[in-house]
Amino acid sequence: MKDIIIACVGKPSAGKSSFLNAVTDATAKVGNYPFTTIKPNNGIAYFPIECPCKRFDKTKLCAPRYGRCIDGKRFVPIQILDVAGLVPGASEGQGLGNQFLDDLRHANALIHVVDVSGTTDANGKETIGYDPIGDIEWLRGEIHSWIYGNINKRWGQIVRRHVAVKASTAETLHNQFSGYGATLQLVQRSLDRSGVKEAMDTWDKETIKKIVNAFLDERFPTIIALNKIDLPDSDKNISKIMRKYDQNKIVLSSALAETFLRKLHKQKFIQYDEGTDNVQTKEDLPDSDLKPLDEKLQNRIEKVQDLVLYRYGSTGVQDVVLKAVEVLGLVPAFPVKSLSTFANTNGKGVFRDCVLLWPGTTVLEFADI
C-alpha cells in the first residue's frame, strides 16, 4: 500500500511556510513514522481521532507505535509535501512551474493556503484590497491548463488510436491520466461526474475541458485553508468566499498564532491543548512548573485569544489536516492480535498500530498491509 501524501501549496507570503511549521513536527525522531520514504521537502503532521482505548477503558495501557495518544485522543501521523513554485504561468513552465506540477502527481489531496486578508497580490507582494478569490481560481486554472494542454496537443492521435483498438472511453482516458497517478476506477468516476455520454471522436475542446475539470475534482480534492484570519479585511473576504465555494472544503486558520502558541508551550510559558482554545498560564496553574509571563507576552497571548481562539474555537491548523484526511474518505483501523486484550504480536501495550484504509479495502487487502 502506497504512503498517503497531502501536498501543501500556496503563493509566496500566503503563510504556507508558517502553516507547515505549525502543522509538522520538525523535531520528530528518525523512524518515528511508518512511511517508506521521507524526502527533504516532506514533513510529518499529526491529526486527531478518537482512539478505541477510551471506549474499552484501556487509556493507561495504550502505547502507539507511531504518533501519540493523550487521554483517548489519538494523534495519527501523515505525510505533508511542501510544494514550491506556485507562480502565475506555472503551467507554462514559469518559475519552478514544471517542478511544482510534477510534485503534485505524488499527492492524494491538496491543502491550498490562501491569504484571506488580501494584503498580498498574486505574486506575494505586499498590497491592500487584493481579492483572494483570484488565488483560489488561479491554482485550479494552472493545474487544469497543465493537464488539458498535455491532452489537447495530442488529441488527434489519441482519438485515432481509440477508434483503431476499439477501447472503452475510460480505458483510453486512463492511458492519458495514468501519468497523474490515476487508476481506471478513478477515471471512470471522473467520466460519471462529467456527465459526458457522447463518443470520444465527437468531443470538442469544451468537452475535453469538462472532462479535465471532473478529473481534477476526483484526482486532486482540495481543502482551502483561509489563513491570516486575525487581520483586517479577513471577515469580508471570508464571507465572500464562503458564498462562492463548498463550505465543507474551507477551513479558517491562523498559522502564526498556532506557531506562537506551540513555541510558548514548548518553552513552558503556557499549557496549550492543540486544536482547542484552552491556554493556561502560571496564574491559572500556580502549582505547575510553568514560567511567569511578563506584561508584553501576556498582552500577545490575550490578543491571540481575542482575535483567534475565542472567535473561532481554535487556530484551525489542526482542522485543516483533519479535513484533508476526511475528504479522502480514509478510515482508521487498528489491527490487533487478540480481541480480548487488544495487544499486538509482542504483547506490549494495546492498540499499537493505526492504519489508514481507503474506502472499499477488503479484509484480505488489510491483512497484507
What pLDDT, on a 0 to 100 scale, did the predictor assign at position 108?
94
Chain centroid to CA 234: 22
Residues 6+ apart with CB under 8 A from 107: 5, 6, 7, 81, 83, 220
What pLDDT, on a 0 to 100 scale, did the predictor assign at position 59?
94
Q: Which domains are present in the chain? A: 144-218 (1.10.8.470), 256-315 (no CATH)
Question: Residue 206 is which amino acid?
Answer: E
The predicted-structure confidence for 24-69, as pLDDT tens digits, reads as follows 865 444 444 555 445 556 889 999 999 999 999 999 999 999 999 9
Q: 174 pLDDT exceeds 60?
A: yes
- How far apart are alpha carbons 282 and 299 in whole angstroms? 15
- How far apart are alpha carbons 76 and 33 in whole angstroms? 9
- pLDDT confidence bin for 97, thresholds 50/70/90: low
Is there a contact between 222 and 112 (Cβ–Cβ < 8 Å)?
A: yes
Which three three-digit cell numbers place residue 180? 497523474
pTM of the model: 0.89
What pLDDT, on a 0 to 100 scale, did the predictor assign at position 86?
65
| CA angle at 329 for the pair 324 and 330, rounded to the nearest 5° | 85
The predicted-structure confidence for 2-25, as pLDDT tens digits, reads as follows 789 999 998 888 888 889 989 986
Q: How far does the chain reach from its first CA to its final CA, in angstroms?
A: 6
Residues 6+ apart with CB under 8 A from 176: 150, 151, 158
What pLDDT, on a 0 to 100 scale, did the predictor assign at position 88?
67
Q: Rounded mean pLDDT of 103-128?
A: 91
Q: Rounded mean pLDDT of 233-258?
A: 96
Q: In this structure, how many other beta carbons lie within 10 angstroms of the beta carbon of residue 327?
A: 17
| CA angle at 281 for the pair 278 and 284, rounded to the nearest 5° | 85
If DSSP states are collapsed to H, E and C, what string results for the chain?
CCCCEEEEECCCCCCHHHHHHHHECCCCCCCCCCCCCCCCCEEEEEEEEECHHHHCCCCCCECCCCCEEECCEEEEEEEEEECCCCCCCHHHCCCCHHHHHHHHCCCCEEEEEEECCCCECCCCCECCCCCCHHHHHHHHHHHHHHHHHHHHCCHHHHHHHHHHHCCCHHHHHHHHHHHHCCCHHHHHHHHHHHCCCCCHHHCCHHHHHHHHHHHHHHHCCEEEEEECCCCCCHHHHHHHHHHHCCHHHEEECCHHHHHHHHHHHHCCCCEECCCCCCEECCCCCCCCCCCCCCHHHHHHHHHHHHHHHHHHCCCCHHHHHHHHHHHCCCEEECCCCCCCCCECCCCCCECCCCEEECCCCCHHHHHCC
- How far apart are alpha carbons 330 and 44 in whole angstroms? 17
What pLDDT, on a 0 to 100 scale, did the predictor assign at position 123?
82
| Length reported for the chain | 369
Among the listed residues 172, 176, 171, 170, the one whose alpha carbon sits nearest the alpha carbon of residue 194: 170
Indicate the pairing of strand 109-115 with strand 5-9. Answer: parallel
What pLDDT, on a 0 to 100 scale, did the predictor assign at position 10?
87
Is there a contact between 270 and 290 (Cβ–Cβ < 8 Å)?
A: yes
Instruction: Kindly state the greatest CA–CA separation across the chain.
Output: 80
What is the residue whose three cell numbers read 497543465?
146
- How far apart are alpha carbons 369 and 357 in whole angstroms? 10
What pLDDT, on a 0 to 100 scale, did the predictor assign at position 115?
96
Residues 6+ apart with CB under 8 A from 193: 214, 217, 218
Question: Residue 58 is which amino acid?
Answer: K
- How far apart are alpha carbons 280 and 302 in whole angstroms? 11
Lowest-confidence segment of 82-86, 97-101, 224-228, 358-362 by average pLDDT: 97-101
The predicted-structure confidence for 281-308, as pLDDT tens digits, reads as follows 999 999 999 999 999 999 999 999 999 9
